[in-house]
Amino acid sequence: MLRKIKNALISVSDKSDLEKILFYLKKNKINIISSGGTFKEIIKLKYNCTEVSKFTRFKEMLDGRVKTLHPKIHAGILNNRSNKKHQSQMSSNKFKNIDLIVVNFYPFQETITKNKDKNSIIENIDIGGPTMVRAAAKNFKDVTIITDKSDYKFLINQLEKNKGSTDLRFREYMASKAFGLTAYYDSIISNWFNKEMNIKFPDKMTVSGKKLTDLRYGENPHQKSSIYSNKLSEKEIGFKKIAGKNLSYNNYNDIFSGLEILDSLKETGTVIIKHANPSGVSVNSSPLKSFQHALSCDPVSAFGGVVACNFKINKKIAREISKTFFEVILAKSFDQEALRIFRSRRNLILIDISKFKLISDIQIKCFNNSLLIQDQNLEIFDYKKLKFVTKLKPSKREIKLAKFAMNVCKFVKSNSIVVTKDFSTIGIGAGQPSRVDSCKIAVAKAKTFQPKKIKNSIAASDAFFPFPDGIKKLIKSGVKLIVQPGGSIRDKESIRVADKAKVKMIFTGTRHFNH
pLDDT in tens, 280-335: 999 999 999 999 999 999 999 999 999 999 999 999 999 999 999 999 999 999 99
pLDDT value, residue 128: 84
User: For residue 387, how many other CB atoms are within 10 A of its CB?
Assistant: 11
Q: Which of 275, 312, 332, 472 is catalytic?
A: 275
**Do 188 and 233 touch, CB atoms closer than 8 A?**
no
Domain topology for 3-196? Rossmann fold (3.40.50)
Give the range among 8-12, 200-204, 206-210, 404-408 with minimum mean pLDDT: 206-210
Residue type, 292: Q
> Tens digits of per-residue pLDDT, 443-466?
999 999 999 999 999 999 999 999
Tell the CATH superfamily of the 240-352 domain: AICAR transformylase, duplication domain (3.40.140.20)
Average pLDDT over all residues of the chain: 92
Task: Say yes or no to pLDDT of 430 above 60.
Answer: yes
Which parts of 321-402 are beta strand (E)?
A: 328-331, 349-352, 362-367, 370-375, 387-388
Q: Considering Cα of 10, then 11, then 13, then 15, what sign does the dihedral take?
A: positive
Per-residue pLDDT averaged across 404-417, rounded?
96
* Phi/psi of residue 490, nearest 5 degrees: -110, 20
When pLDDT is cut at 50, 70 and 90, the band that residue 58 belongs to is confident
In the chain, CATH 3.40.50.1380 sits at 3-196
**H helices present in 322-416, as ranges:** 336-342, 396-409
SS3 (DSSP) at 214: strand
Q: Which helix (H) or strand (E) holds 458?
A: strand 457-461
User: For residue 20, how many other CB atoms are within 10 A of its CB?
Assistant: 13
When pLDDT is cut at 50, 70 and 90, the band that residue 233 belongs to is low
**Do 24 and 161 touch, CB atoms closer than 8 A?**
no
SS3 (DSSP) at 274: strand
Q: Considering Cα of 239, then 242, then 248, then 254, what sign does the dihedral take?
A: negative
28 prior amide bond cis, ω within 30: no
In the chain, CATH 3.40.140.20 sits at 240-352, 383-507
Domain topology for 383-507? Cytidine Deaminase; domain 2 (3.40.140)
3-state DSSP helix/strand/coil percent for the chain, to nearest 5? 40, 20, 40
Specify whether 138 is catalytic. yes
pLDDT value, residue 116: 79
pTM given for the model:
0.84
User: For residue 124, how many other CB atoms are within 10 A of its CB?
Assistant: 18
Residue type, 23: F
Residue 385 is classified by DSSP as: G
What gap in Å lies between CA 441 and CA 473, rounded to an integer? 10
Q: Which of 15, 74, 138, 210 is catalytic?
A: 138
When pLDDT is cut at 50, 70 and 90, the band that residue 389 belongs to is very high
When pLDDT is cut at 50, 70 and 90, the band that residue 208 belongs to is confident
Task: Say yes or no to pLDDT of 232 above 70.
Answer: no
Q: Residue 455 class from Cβ within 10 Å (0-12 exposed, 13-18 middle, 19+ buried)?
A: exposed
58's CB contacts (< 8 A; 6+ apart) are 70, 72
**Do 511 and 460 touch, CB atoms closer than 8 A?**
no
Specify whether 293 is catalytic. no
